[in-house]
Structure 1
Amino acid sequence: MHSHSLEPWTHGHVFLGDRHDRHARRTWAVVALTAATMVAEILGGTWFGSMALVADGWHMSTHAAALGIAALAYHFARRHADDPRFSFGTGKFGDLAAFASAIILGLIALLIGAESLDRLLHPVAIGFGPAIPIAVVGLAVNLASVWLLHDDHNAEDGGHTHGGHAHGGHSHGSHAHAGHGGHDTNFRAAYIHVLADALTSVLAIAALLGGRYLGLAWLDPAMGLVGTAVILAWSWSLLRTAGLVLLDARPSAAATREIRERLETGGDRISDLHLWQVGPGHRAAVIALVSDDPQPPAHYKARLAGMRGLSHVTVEVQPCQGHAAVA
């Protein structure tokens, strides 16, 4: 029995996004900015006796917590990227964090809505003079955070496949690094949090100005309800996107069609196809083929070369003479 090194046939399972470290740095920067503002507002509000300032500080604390979850997800994903316990790497840590953030965002929206509805039914006196500068400062912080987290988070997936090795009827390996872009759900979640905070600040400023100069005190709770509706819609969209990734839903009908078009030629037919996302810009596929004239798995993997975002492919080929004629 000969001893062979498996090193040329093995590959890593690091499926982190191309901008993972950049996104992590920016998220930590926003966490620090949000936390500093939160502490300043709570301490300042307590010192000057401003409940509005204290309330806004505690409101920012919920966003700081959600942003902290996003930042920690980047940290743990990088730290455990080579941990063999994670069969397909840690690329979906961010989606798990985004799912949690979406729930927090939805709860924040519901709390704002409940408070706004209560204020609409039971109006209270509003100190428009002190409240407007507070809202403006909050908006400035939020806009700085939005700028830090603004990115091409709708970029298309990148990547290409490489040929693998074959043994028997299987081929493993086809490992590729998704080259350019890739949808980072975790970064999008952080972005939506600061965007939601900026939206509430804009609505608050509009309502306070309307209340002070036009006497429309009802605008304040009404704007709160508008913000609730918008933020809930964003939360649901984020929850759905992250949830589908966590449940290994097929990420793209177009990609599934392209795989079939590339492989189902002549007497070759796909009998089973699994396609799922394993990280930002990275997809994995397990494909079973039946063929009149079976070729080595590497032959079929070569047909998939150049498909964007296809980073890990396993192919199984079974001979089945005359199946195409029967079909």
Structure 2
Amino acid sequence: MKNIVSKIIALFLIFTTSSIVAQNNIDEFLKNQPIIDMHFHITKGYADNEIYNQRKVDIDSARIDWIIEDYNKNNVVLALGGGTLKYSKMYVETDSLFWGGLVFPCMKTVEQDEPCDKEFFNELELREIYKTGKLKILGESMFNYYGIPPTDKRLEPYWKIAEEFSIPIGIHADIGPPPERVNKEERPNYNPAFANPELLKPILEKHPNLKIYILHYGGGYSEQAIELMKLYPQIYCEVSAVSLFMPKEVWEPNVKKLFREGLGNRLMFASDYFGTVRKHIEIIYNMDWLTEKEKRDIYYNNAARFLNLSESEIKEHQNKVN
């Protein structure tokens, strides 16, 4: 019995020590390492969220306050988020950390999209919204959740304005949950088939200069994403959520294939789900087959290139984490 207890204690000490070493290693790696989060959700604040609901009386400000603190803690120097017009404006006016833009289309039946005053904007309206440069991105695309393909005529103004103003567009391109698991009251026409990136081909033929980043690479549409990226060098991708919720043996081989195909320099960091920044950072760090340079490229350099950041912007980001 004494031997068994000794072995258990020894195993516990080994596990604890190795965890501390691993933690120290990643913390050391991240020193002076800026990170760009290519995908988070701009939403209203929720009064029942205990993470931030005691911070400030105004629940929207409380949410923003917590997000900024979390990003600062994790060396995130720039975060791209999509939401409704009201909240996107609020976030970009609060802190230069945020690049905001419109989720498209928003849905009046979805609580996260409140206030969705208008599900689709026309070309004139989009031009007015984006011509000032205050809002800088489009996305996340939600047409698959709305139940329409990207070729729907109501989406054409978005593609046109995005190309004209060189606006980066985050495209949801994963199969996602099966229809039976989706809230039918919020998303009655949800169709995961419309997230297939192959459906973007006619859009790109008409608007060949669109700057697209594919969200949730690594899942069921990985092959189609790779083929599209081969055709269009301006298309990049990220692995948020898929790498968090799918088995590693499913998504990681797809990431390895991305590198085998010579497309690894277009993989970027993103978190997607609220409060998961650190977890997603660890996922990238723990891909042991990546070189140190490749990890640093994913955390920052690839996104900086995709976003055409200036030397002064890059220097400013580096100064923030020094």
- TM-score class, shorter-chain normalisation, is under 0.3
> Which gives a bigger RCO, structure 1 or 2 (Cα 8 Å, sep 6+)?
1
Taking structure 1 as the reference length, the TM-score comes to 0.22
Instruction: State the TM-score, normalized to the length of structure 2.
Output: 0.23
